[in-house]
Structure 1
């Protein structure tokens, strides 16, 4: 006879959740697998995503293949580099999945870029450039990402690799990295615009767009969003110039003249240690000289401790309250949470691929894994007093341990040990033979 206690009740609830997570995983993977004509890559893509969800110390085709029970990494390397499949169509499947599970008419599309540090110059898109991730100029890749934030949760949605002019002006370098002929130079705001247009064309429900100064300072992006009737709250620099009733003024000049009663204390969202309270003010701006009717504002955030100011250019096709704009501004930070989870838990930045196709395929499957985790957190019933809502990171651990943890045989462990040592011996022999050609 089972004696029911709070602990056994929660354990039973987790068993129910694990079944629902399994069903949700099938909902995500079934349309993705249908993109593959052959059974081998169809089977491998499932094993690949399960490997991304596993607690592997590093994630690459070798470790993922071993986790999947393969005898060598060749199959997974083929999946990422040589198999025939369209990563854009798979991202469309992920977008449809996110729309079903997290969709909301007031959802926010968040745009931002992240950098991956790389050595050398042959990895596609790499050069010395500023990386917000590192906070300085580094040898790195940069990619623009689009994420989806709704009252139900938030997930990465789409991506575009940024190619600097040093790459797009070098046809030989592009060809070596397998970059398609039709790909040319595009700024980060232009890449963001394409991602947003693709999401809207796919029927994703959304109302707002949010981004940092790299995107708020681009007037063409703002005009395109107005044309799509998408409201926006985009960060701008203190030197950003805006039209006012007194002429063109800098954002920081406008803030200096505000009276005390113009500021309101509002929360930008819940943080780990409480609400993120700031002082906020917003100023209505004259209509822009274009064909898009709507309402323009300058939103200003003031840190209550340091007095530091941040500025946002805002637009909406209909009037909205200050509190609503503050909510949109605060939700921009969800993409940082997504980046952290995707890098620390899913290996977003651990790929070892130099070519265009392989980079997009790896990133696409990481996006799929993250979307699954984000959606699965909304299904949890095993909540009890004294527990915070389940996080993406905790759900990944539970899903692996309760659903996909492999029962590796002794033979499989030994097979992989032999494979690694054989590969290392071949590499060692090759190095010595190459050295012998030039050294006495």
Structure 2
């Protein structure tokens, strides 16, 4: 806050005013995010959206949503907040447009909720439910329907998220566990002792090994994937449970070279797309870690100094808006260079803190 305030004024109280603007002022963040999403969509025509999980280390236990969590990237358990971000996949890279703060079960305690100003309508829910909430918010905002591209293997109860997307008739390209139950495309539901054995579900990995078609696909140049040749195994399947039981889905995976680890299995509703297009979409989650590092290093994602639920949401909203502005301010809605100059980072010389005598 002090660095931001010092960039525009010498006032010794400016940083405190800026802190109050983020943490205590009453402005609503949802309309700002809706406008940000529409602004990004107009300038980039994104093809999909994906999810980024931001882990924010915390020293104490007073910040909203803070809890103990094992972080694989650090190899240890830390105190942290966890933010679930919605990113639009654009030609400029992923841009954040919406967020949810993950609240573990202990944050249902009334004392904690009052202290951090958690709204009555907000309750601890699993991460998969928050992803569905992000999808619902996008639909309610009248945004163009975009497929969700995400690795479900990173979630507990991935079948719950998959079922929620199917119930909402949302398109998706998702990495699924090897054990996901699928049915052959010609299978029918069992209706008695004489039912066709082909109706029995098998695992997704087993399906590709025994029924998948091996293809050699030529990939064009892409900002997400290098050009070259790759082998792909694929096939159409049905899902045995849930809504629309007769719908076809495409299951596919790259075939690893000898000695390599098995690759992820991807399931999609977009059966009309080419494998080249599907593989490019499937590469989107790999772009998120770098985007999160940039939000942390260049835009202060981890630098919120308050402890409240509203303050956290206003902070990540401003971080997202700053990122989107710097990436896209020179692009007009037609996708052509505009007249607005690109955003510049203003750096002020460091000043000693002006403390009262």
Same fold (TM over 0.5): yes
Q: Give me the whole-angstrom Cα distance separating, in 2, the residues matched to 1:103 and 1:97.
A: 10
Q: Which of 317, 324, 329 matches 1:364?
A: 317
Structure 1 residues 321-351: Cα deviation after superposition (integer angstroms, max 9, x where no partner): 3223212111222333321221121111122
- Mapped to 1, the partners of 2:313 and 2:65 lie a distance apart of 12
Worse-matched range after superposition: 216-225 or 307-316: 216-225
Provide the secondary structure at the position in 2 that maps to 1:324.
helix
Pairwise CA RMSD: 3.2
Classify 1:110/1:243 alpha carbon distance in 2 versus 1 (closer, same or farther; 3 Å): same
Pick from 13, 19, 30 the counterpart of residue 77 of structure 1. 19
Deviations 1:201-260 (A, max 9, x none): 21222331111123595233323323443321111223333334543223333344468x
Q: CA deviation at 1:198?
A: 0.7
- Counterpart Cα distance in 2 of 1:183 and 1:67: 36
Of 110, 114, 136, the match for 1:175: 114
Q: SS of 1:345's equivalent?
A: helix
- Structure 1 residues 120 and 418: CA distance shift in structure 2, 3 A: closer
Cα distance, 1:126 vs. partner?
A: 1.3
1:254-278 CA deviation, whole Å, 9 max, x = no partner?
Answer: 344468x714355597469944865
Secondary structure at 2:89 match in 1? strand
Pairing partner for 1:197 from 106, 124, 136: 136
8 A Cα contact 1:294 1:315, kept in partner: no
1:279 corresponds, among 208, 231, 235, to 231
Provide structure 1 residue ranges, at least 5 long, that are not aligned to the other structure: 1-60, 383-395, 426-440
Does the 8 Å CA contact 2:214/2:231 hold for their aligned counterparts?
no
- Measured in 2, the distance between the counterparts of 1:344 and 1:277 equals 36
Alpha-carbon spacing, 1:361–1:173, altered in 2? closer, same or farther (3 Å): same
C-alpha distance in 1 between matches for 2:227 and 2:87: 23
How far apart in 1 are the matches of 2:336 and 2:95?
20
Q: What SS class does the counterpart of residue 332 from structure 1 fall into?
A: helix
Q: In the alignment, which residue of structure 2 is the partner of 1:141?
A: 81
Task: Work out the CA distance in 1 between the residues paired with 2:291 and 2:252.
Answer: 25
- TM-score, L = length of structure 2: 0.81
Question: Alpha carbons of 1:274 and 1:322: their partners in 2 closer, same or farther (altered >3 Å)?
Answer: closer
1:96 aligns with 2:38: yes
Change (3 A) 1:208 1:252: same
After superposition, where does 1:223-302 map in structure 2 within 5 Å?
223-244=163-184, 246=198, 247-257=200-210, 262-265=214-217, 267=219, 270=222, 274-275=226-227, 278-292=230-244, 294-302=247-255
8 Å contact from structure 1 (residues 155, 370) kept in 2: yes
- Relative to structure 1, is the Cα distance of residues 291 and 134 closer, same or farther in structure 2, using a 3 angstrom cutoff? same
Where does residue 344 of structure 2 map in the other structure? 400
How far apart, CA to CA, are the structure 1 residues paired with 2:8 and 2:29? Answer: 21
Q: Separation in 2 of the partners of 1:209 and 1:269? A: 23
How far did 1:132 drift?
5.2
> How many Å separate the matches in 2 of 1:188 and 1:276?
36
Contact 2:253-2:266 at 8 Å conserved across structures: no
Q: Which residue of 1 aligns with 2:146?
A: 207
2:67 pairs with 127, 130, 133, which one? 127
- Partners of 1:355 and 1:347 in 2: CA distance: 17
Give 1 or 2 for the bigger CA radius of gyration: 1
Q: TM-score, normalised by structure 1?
A: 0.67
Count residues with an aligned counterpart. Answer: 335
SS of 1:157's partner is strand
Q: Kindly state the Cα deviation for residue 89 of structure 1 after the two structures are TM-superposed.
A: 1.6
Asked if 2 retains the 8 angstrom alpha-carbon contact of 1:268 and 1:327, the reply is: no
Please name the residue that 1:346 is paired with: 299
Q: Which runs of 5+ in 2 are unaligned?
A: 188-197
- Which residue of 51, 66, 86 maps to 2:28? 86
In structure 2, distance between residues paired with 1:405 and 1:62 = 12
CA–CA distance in structure 2, aligned partners of residues 188 and 269 of structure 1: 34
2:158 is equivalent to residue 158 of structure 1: no
